[in-house]
Amino acid sequence: MWTGPIRDRRCAAQLLHRVEHFRGRVWSIVSDEVRLPGGAVVTRDVVDHPGAVGVVVLDEDDRVLLIRQFRHPVGGYLMELPAGLRDVAGEPPLVTAQRELAEEAGFTATDWHVLIDFFNSPGGSTEAFRCFLARGVTAIPGGRPHTGEAEEADLPQVWMPLRDAVDAVLAGDLHNPTTVAGVLAASAARDRGWSTLRPADGPMWDLPLGTAPHAAE
Protein backbone atom coordinates (compact mmCIF):
# COMPACT_ATOMS: atom_id res chain seq x y z
CA MET A 1 0.00 0.00 0.00
CA TRP A 2 1.17 3.52 -0.78
CA THR A 3 1.64 5.54 2.40
CA GLY A 4 3.18 8.71 1.00
CA PRO A 5 1.56 11.98 -0.12
CA ILE A 6 -1.34 11.56 -2.54
CA ARG A 7 -0.09 13.85 -5.26
CA ASP A 8 1.88 13.58 -8.48
CA ARG A 9 5.66 13.96 -8.25
CA ARG A 10 8.31 14.57 -10.88
CA CYS A 11 10.75 11.69 -11.43
CA ALA A 12 12.42 11.39 -14.83
CA ALA A 13 13.60 8.09 -16.25
CA GLN A 14 17.19 7.79 -17.42
CA LEU A 15 17.27 8.12 -21.19
CA LEU A 16 19.62 5.54 -22.69
CA HIS A 17 18.83 5.86 -26.39
CA ARG A 18 16.35 7.67 -28.62
CA VAL A 19 15.18 7.08 -32.17
CA GLU A 20 13.08 9.74 -33.88
CA HIS A 21 10.68 8.13 -36.37
CA PHE A 22 8.72 11.19 -37.45
CA ARG A 23 8.97 14.95 -37.08
CA GLY A 24 5.76 16.73 -38.02
CA ARG A 25 4.58 20.32 -38.07
CA VAL A 26 3.28 20.09 -34.48
CA TRP A 27 4.68 16.98 -32.81
CA SER A 28 7.22 14.19 -33.21
CA ILE A 29 7.13 10.45 -32.58
CA VAL A 30 10.13 8.87 -30.88
CA SER A 31 11.11 5.55 -29.35
CA ASP A 32 12.96 5.93 -26.06
CA GLU A 33 15.01 3.24 -24.39
CA VAL A 34 14.92 4.22 -20.71
CA ARG A 35 15.89 2.90 -17.33
CA LEU A 36 12.81 3.22 -15.11
CA PRO A 37 13.12 4.38 -11.48
CA GLY A 38 12.79 0.75 -10.38
CA GLY A 39 15.75 -0.29 -12.54
CA ALA A 40 14.02 -2.03 -15.46
CA VAL A 41 15.16 -1.09 -18.97
CA VAL A 42 12.29 -0.73 -21.44
CA THR A 43 11.49 0.90 -24.79
CA ARG A 44 8.54 3.28 -24.94
CA ASP A 45 7.02 5.04 -27.95
CA VAL A 46 6.29 8.69 -27.18
CA VAL A 47 4.44 11.50 -28.95
CA ASP A 48 6.61 14.53 -28.18
CA HIS A 49 4.00 17.29 -27.94
CA PRO A 50 4.41 21.03 -27.18
CA GLY A 51 1.41 21.15 -24.85
CA ALA A 52 -1.80 23.17 -25.05
CA VAL A 53 -4.19 25.43 -23.17
CA GLY A 54 -7.96 25.83 -23.05
CA VAL A 55 -10.39 28.35 -21.61
CA VAL A 56 -13.71 27.95 -19.82
CA VAL A 57 -15.32 31.30 -20.62
CA LEU A 58 -18.23 32.18 -18.32
CA ASP A 59 -20.48 35.19 -18.79
CA GLU A 60 -22.43 36.99 -16.06
CA ASP A 61 -25.30 34.49 -16.43
CA ASP A 62 -23.03 31.47 -15.83
CA ARG A 63 -23.14 30.43 -19.45
CA VAL A 64 -20.11 28.74 -20.97
CA LEU A 65 -18.83 29.51 -24.47
CA LEU A 66 -18.49 26.56 -26.87
CA ILE A 67 -17.27 26.56 -30.45
CA ARG A 68 -17.98 23.95 -33.13
CA GLN A 69 -14.95 22.59 -34.93
CA PHE A 70 -14.34 19.73 -37.36
CA ARG A 71 -11.84 17.13 -36.17
CA HIS A 72 -10.61 14.79 -38.90
CA PRO A 73 -8.94 12.12 -36.67
CA VAL A 74 -12.25 11.32 -34.92
CA GLY A 75 -14.42 11.94 -37.97
CA GLY A 76 -16.82 14.66 -36.90
CA TYR A 77 -17.68 18.06 -35.49
CA LEU A 78 -16.97 18.58 -31.78
CA MET A 79 -18.31 21.26 -29.46
CA GLU A 80 -15.21 22.59 -27.74
CA LEU A 81 -13.83 25.24 -25.44
CA PRO A 82 -11.53 27.79 -27.07
CA ALA A 83 -8.08 26.20 -27.00
CA GLY A 84 -4.74 26.09 -28.74
CA LEU A 85 -1.25 24.66 -28.90
CA ARG A 86 1.66 26.04 -26.91
CA ASP A 87 3.75 26.24 -30.05
CA VAL A 88 5.39 29.63 -29.45
CA ALA A 89 8.67 29.15 -27.60
CA GLY A 90 8.83 31.09 -24.34
CA GLU A 91 5.20 32.22 -24.41
CA PRO A 92 3.57 31.85 -20.94
CA PRO A 93 0.44 29.66 -20.85
CA LEU A 94 -1.75 32.61 -19.84
CA VAL A 95 -0.62 34.67 -22.84
CA THR A 96 -1.30 31.71 -25.13
CA ALA A 97 -4.79 31.32 -23.68
CA GLN A 98 -5.57 35.02 -24.08
CA ARG A 99 -4.37 34.95 -27.67
CA GLU A 100 -6.38 31.83 -28.51
CA LEU A 101 -9.54 33.27 -26.95
CA ALA A 102 -9.22 36.31 -29.20
CA GLU A 103 -8.30 34.35 -32.34
CA GLU A 104 -10.85 31.54 -32.01
CA ALA A 105 -13.77 33.30 -30.38
CA GLY A 106 -13.28 37.06 -30.67
CA PHE A 107 -13.33 37.83 -26.94
CA THR A 108 -11.12 39.28 -24.25
CA ALA A 109 -11.51 38.80 -20.50
CA THR A 110 -10.39 40.72 -17.42
CA ASP A 111 -10.55 37.96 -14.78
CA TRP A 112 -8.31 34.90 -15.29
CA HIS A 113 -7.62 31.90 -13.03
CA VAL A 114 -6.29 28.38 -13.40
CA LEU A 115 -8.99 25.72 -13.15
CA ILE A 116 -7.04 22.49 -13.69
CA ASP A 117 -3.85 21.02 -15.13
CA PHE A 118 -3.69 17.58 -16.67
CA PHE A 119 -1.79 15.32 -19.08
CA ASN A 120 -3.93 14.39 -22.07
CA SER A 121 -2.47 10.89 -22.53
CA PRO A 122 0.40 10.33 -20.08
CA GLY A 123 0.98 6.73 -21.16
CA GLY A 124 2.18 7.83 -24.58
CA SER A 125 2.37 11.61 -24.93
CA THR A 126 4.19 14.52 -23.30
CA GLU A 127 1.19 16.83 -23.83
CA ALA A 128 0.69 18.94 -20.70
CA PHE A 129 -2.57 20.87 -20.64
CA ARG A 130 -3.69 23.87 -18.61
CA CYS A 131 -7.35 24.92 -18.50
CA PHE A 132 -8.17 28.46 -17.42
CA LEU A 133 -11.36 30.11 -16.20
CA ALA A 134 -12.02 33.49 -17.85
CA ARG A 135 -14.69 35.93 -16.69
CA GLY A 136 -15.38 39.60 -17.28
CA VAL A 137 -15.78 38.86 -20.96
CA THR A 138 -15.93 41.52 -23.69
CA ALA A 139 -16.43 40.99 -27.41
CA ILE A 140 -13.69 42.31 -29.68
CA PRO A 141 -15.11 45.00 -32.02
CA GLY A 142 -15.68 43.33 -35.37
CA GLY A 143 -15.46 39.81 -33.92
CA ARG A 144 -12.60 37.32 -34.21
CA PRO A 145 -9.77 38.27 -36.55
CA HIS A 146 -9.70 36.42 -39.86
CA THR A 147 -6.57 34.45 -39.04
CA GLY A 148 -8.02 30.95 -39.13
CA GLU A 149 -7.65 28.54 -42.03
CA ALA A 150 -8.89 25.06 -42.93
CA GLU A 151 -10.73 23.68 -39.85
CA GLU A 152 -10.48 27.04 -38.08
CA ALA A 153 -11.86 29.14 -40.93
CA ASP A 154 -15.44 28.80 -39.63
CA LEU A 155 -16.00 28.30 -35.90
CA PRO A 156 -19.69 28.77 -35.01
CA GLN A 157 -20.20 29.46 -31.31
CA VAL A 158 -22.91 29.08 -28.71
CA TRP A 159 -23.41 30.13 -25.09
CA MET A 160 -24.71 27.24 -22.96
CA PRO A 161 -25.72 27.30 -19.28
CA LEU A 162 -22.94 25.63 -17.29
CA ARG A 163 -25.40 23.22 -15.68
CA ASP A 164 -26.64 22.14 -19.12
CA ALA A 165 -23.06 21.70 -20.30
CA VAL A 166 -22.40 19.38 -17.34
CA ASP A 167 -25.51 17.38 -18.28
CA ALA A 168 -24.28 17.16 -21.88
CA VAL A 169 -20.90 15.84 -20.73
CA LEU A 170 -22.49 13.19 -18.50
CA ALA A 171 -24.92 12.21 -21.26
CA GLY A 172 -22.05 11.55 -23.66
CA ASP A 173 -22.95 14.43 -25.97
CA LEU A 174 -19.60 16.21 -25.55
CA HIS A 175 -16.33 14.33 -26.12
CA ASN A 176 -13.46 16.81 -26.42
CA PRO A 177 -11.21 16.20 -23.38
CA THR A 178 -10.65 19.89 -22.75
CA THR A 179 -14.39 20.49 -22.76
CA VAL A 180 -15.18 17.49 -20.57
CA ALA A 181 -12.52 18.28 -17.98
CA GLY A 182 -13.01 22.04 -18.08
CA VAL A 183 -16.79 21.99 -17.78
CA LEU A 184 -16.76 19.51 -14.88
CA ALA A 185 -13.96 21.42 -13.14
CA ALA A 186 -15.80 24.74 -13.51
CA SER A 187 -18.96 23.22 -12.05
CA ALA A 188 -17.03 21.74 -9.12
CA ALA A 189 -15.21 25.03 -8.51
CA ARG A 190 -18.47 26.98 -8.57
CA ASP A 191 -20.00 24.55 -6.06
CA ARG A 192 -17.06 25.37 -3.77
CA GLY A 193 -17.59 29.09 -4.08
CA TRP A 194 -14.61 29.37 -6.46
CA SER A 195 -12.27 28.75 -3.51
CA THR A 196 -10.21 26.23 -5.52
CA LEU A 197 -9.16 28.67 -8.24
CA ARG A 198 -5.41 29.25 -8.58
CA PRO A 199 -3.51 32.32 -9.81
CA ALA A 200 -3.48 32.56 -13.60
CA ASP A 201 0.34 32.71 -13.64
CA GLY A 202 0.81 29.92 -11.08
CA PRO A 203 3.43 27.16 -11.51
CA MET A 204 2.75 24.31 -13.90
CA TRP A 205 4.26 20.87 -14.39
CA ASP A 206 5.84 22.15 -17.57
CA LEU A 207 8.00 20.59 -20.24
CA PRO A 208 10.49 22.47 -22.44
CA LEU A 209 9.15 22.95 -25.96
CA GLY A 210 10.13 20.03 -28.17
CA THR A 211 11.59 17.74 -25.50
CA ALA A 212 10.42 14.59 -23.78
CA PRO A 213 10.79 14.49 -19.95
CA HIS A 214 13.79 12.23 -19.51
CA ALA A 215 17.06 12.80 -17.69
CA ALA A 216 20.31 12.63 -19.63
CA GLU A 217 22.36 9.47 -19.47
- Examine the domain organization and report whether 42 and 57 are in the same domain: no
Residue 204 covered by a domain: no
User: Minimal CA–CA distance to 64: which of 135, 140, 143?
Assistant: 135
In total, how many domains does the chain have?
Answer: 2
- Examine the domain organization and report whether 20 and 93 are in the same domain: no
The domain of 22 spans 13-48
> Contact 113/200 with Cβ under 8 angstroms?
yes
- Examine the domain organization and report whether 65 and 135 are in the same domain: yes
- Examine the domain organization and report whether 20 and 119 are in the same domain: no
**From first to last of its 217 residues, what are the pLDDT tens digits of the chain?**
999 999 998 888 899 999 999 998 888 999 999 999 999 999 999 999 999 999 999 999 999 999 999 999 999 999 999 999 998 888 999 999 999 999 999 999 999 999 999 999 999 999 999 999 999 999 998 777 666 566 666 789 999 999 999 999 999 999 999 999 999 999 999 999 999 999 999 988 865 544 555 544 4
- Examine the domain organization and report whether 30 and 115 are in the same domain: no
44 vs 46: CA distance, rounded Å = 6
Number of residues assigned to the chain? 217
How many CB atoms are closer than 10 A to CB 7? Answer: 5
Residue 149 covered by a domain: yes
- Examine the domain organization and report whether 110 and 129 are in the same domain: yes
> Contact 196/189 with Cβ under 8 angstroms?
yes
* Active site members: 152
